[in-house]
Amino acid sequence: MSEVPPHVTGLAERRAEARSNRDYDGADALRGEIEAEGWVVRDTGDGFELTPRPPFEVWPTVSSLPMSAEGDRPGGRAGSAGSEPAGRDVPLTDAGRVAETQAAPRQKPEGAELVGRSEENEGDPGRMVFSQLLWDASLSVSRLDEAITPAEHEEPVTPPTVTVGLVVDGWPDDLRDCVRSLVAHTEATILCLDLGDVDGAGAVLEQLVEEFPRRVKSRHVAETPHWRGGSAGWGESRAKLLELDTSDVHVVMETSTILDGDAITPLVKVLTDDVAAAGWQGVNPGADGHDWHEAEPGEVRGLLGYLFAVRRDAALAAGGFPEDARYYRNADLEFSLRLPGTLVALGKDLPVHSERHRGYHDVDPDYRDRESRRTYDRVLRLLRDT
């Protein structure tokens, strides 16, 4: 890593002092000066860290990420920017009204003069009779068309739009394998939120965006994951992905999950007005609520966050993801219990497998147990209320 210039360190120290004095406007201005010098400042538990600024846009925190810009709206159909279909709720311009008027067939109003009736043929009974015959013939043809034309035209069913949301927390090889399996087996949009470019995962994400520009969308923040010593929480990150998404169906997936076939379409097909979410692995609580066991395929109380699809309207109705959850474990159960409607698990027949789940196995055990218990207290309260 390049050595940090002394004046940049000085800016970071002044920013830390501004933050301690709750001068957040001043701290933001100093952050901008640091970035203008080619560095990114990250807050840590005991101070700050300075790293070279990467060659892509980085926002300071998850909460500071703006909604996606027009023309780059994640959540559209694969191969599109997610824009609304042409003609939907778009007012006609004057030119459009003229074109519409010219294209529309003219209807003869009740009591209007017959075709051919004008000053030119006024007083010519032969021409008037001929015109009457033409008009009667045209009415007959029109009525025949109406008789053989179906009364109603059935509109083709449009499949729901789908976005897969990925939280990128390091382990770039896992990210690469996960995204490529999604591109190979599905048509879903892939929206990734990179937390702190840990282990260069943010740079790998940008390589994937360049490789699959019509499928993969990225957002980057300087915050690193809470479970890796930073400040960005799982629930907050998941909530931001849901906020950025504009699809009908939002898919929660871990980068340790790899598709062996199209495992997304079967999940989406299960979703109805009654079924709010469908996932790969489901669980049910024991009698005391403290132990959860793997459920058979069918209706379940909880879905595990390795892979599940949720109707976005149902997720928003539930208040989104639990933003107090700093770590993933049990937060998927908390989210499941808050959803309105039925949850369904499809089980082992789904073409998908999990590699090493680093979010569990490669996290400090003391941290894992502490944060898991913290979230599970809320799960127990939800179980008592339902």
> How many residues are listed for the chain in this entry?
386
Instruction: Select from 347, 354, 359, 255 the least CA-distant residue to 294.
Output: 347
128-175 pLDDT, tens digit each = 444 454 445 455 545 545 555 555 667 777 899 999 999 999 999 999
pTM of the model: 0.70
Judge contact between 217 and 110, C-beta under 8 A. no
Residue ranges in the chain assigned as alpha helix (H): 6-20, 24-36, 94-103, 125-148, 172-185, 201-211, 234-244, 264-270, 312-317, 331-338, 358-361, 365-385
Per domain, the residue ranges of the chain are: 6-52, 162-385
Specify the DSSP element, H or E, that contains 298: strand 298-300
81-109 pLDDT, tens digit each = 333 333 323 332 333 333 333 333 434 44
Instruction: Select from 26, 2, 6 the least CA-distant residue to 16.
Output: 26
Phi/psi region, residue 162 (left: phi>0; alpha: psi -120 to 50; beta: rest), is beta
- β-pairing, 292-294 vs 282-285, is antiparallel
Instruction: Select from 359, 324, 319 the least CA-distant residue to 337.
Output: 319
Q: How far apart (Å, rounded) are the C-alpha atoms in residues 89 and 71?
A: 18
**What superfamily would CATH give domain 162-385?**
Spore Coat Polysaccharide Biosynthesis Protein SpsA; Chain A (3.90.550.10)
Q: What are the backbone dihedrals phi and psi of residue 352, each rounded to the nearest 5 degrees, phi first?
A: -155, 150
Q: How far apart (Å, rounded) are the C-alpha atoms in residues 310 and 304?
A: 12
The single residue listed with the structure tokens 């299960």 is 270
pLDDT tens per residue, the chain (386 residues)?
578 888 889 898 899 899 889 898 888 888 888 888 888 887 877 788 888 877 788 898 999 999 754 334 333 333 333 333 333 233 323 333 333 333 334 344 444 443 333 344 444 545 444 445 444 545 554 554 555 555 566 777 789 999 999 999 999 999 999 999 999 999 999 999 999 999 999 999 999 999 999 999 999 999 999 999 999 999 999 999 999 999 999 999 999 999 999 999 999 999 998 999 999 999 999 887 778 999 999 999 999 999 999 999 999 999 999 999 999 999 999 999 999 999 999 998 899 999 999 999 999 999 999 999 999 999 999 988 87
Sign of CA dihedral 164, 170, 172, 178: negative
Type of residue numbered 65: L
Q: Output DSSP code: residue 105.
A: P
